Structures are given as structure tokens and as C-alpha cells.
Amino acid sequence: MSLTDPTSFSTSELSNRIAVLRDNIRQITEQAASQSGAADEERNSERLAQQSDELDLLLKEQERRLNK
């Protein structure tokens, strides 16, 4: 899955997307804690990695905008 181009977001869209990703990560973490099994763990791990990568990208863009 490709990551979103953070420069395409307005500042408010960027903030909203960051909030959504943080909530997604929280939900995935909660799901992982309540599930068992290798398939569930692998799927949650992949989802968590993807969401975390996108969050990192958006946070870097937000920081870049703040430091202009």
C-alpha cells in the first residue's frame, strides 16, 4: 500500500489525518491485545506498521510546515 503525499493536504486536513491515524493505531493495538493466533498477529502487525509509517510521514510534513 502506498503512502499518501502529505504535501497534497491543507494544514487542517493534515491535522485531521494525523488524528485519524493515531486513533487507528490505538484501535489496532487494542484489537491485538484481545486477539490470539499467528494470522491475527501478522495482520495486525502489518496494519500497525502501515499506519505508523503514514503517521511518521505526516508528522514530518507537519513539522516542516511549522518550521518554515
| Number of structural domains the chain divides into | 1
List all residues 6 or more positions away from 52 whose beta carbon is below 8 Å from its beta carbon: 25
Q: Read off the pLDDT of residues 11-32 as tens digits, 9 standing for 90 and up.
A: 999 999 999 999 999 999 998 8
Residue 43's domain comprises 8-66
Q: Rounded to the nearest 10 degrees, what angle do helices 38-66 and 11-34 cross at? A: 160
Does some domain include residue 51?
A: yes
Of the candidates 27, 11, 24, the residue with the CA atom closest to the CA atom of residue 54 = 24
Q: Read off the pLDDT of residues 28-65 as tens digits, 9 standing for 90 and up.
A: 999 888 887 778 888 999 999 999 999 999 999 999 99
Does some domain include residue 61?
A: yes
- What's the pTM value of the predicted model, to 2 decimals? 0.85
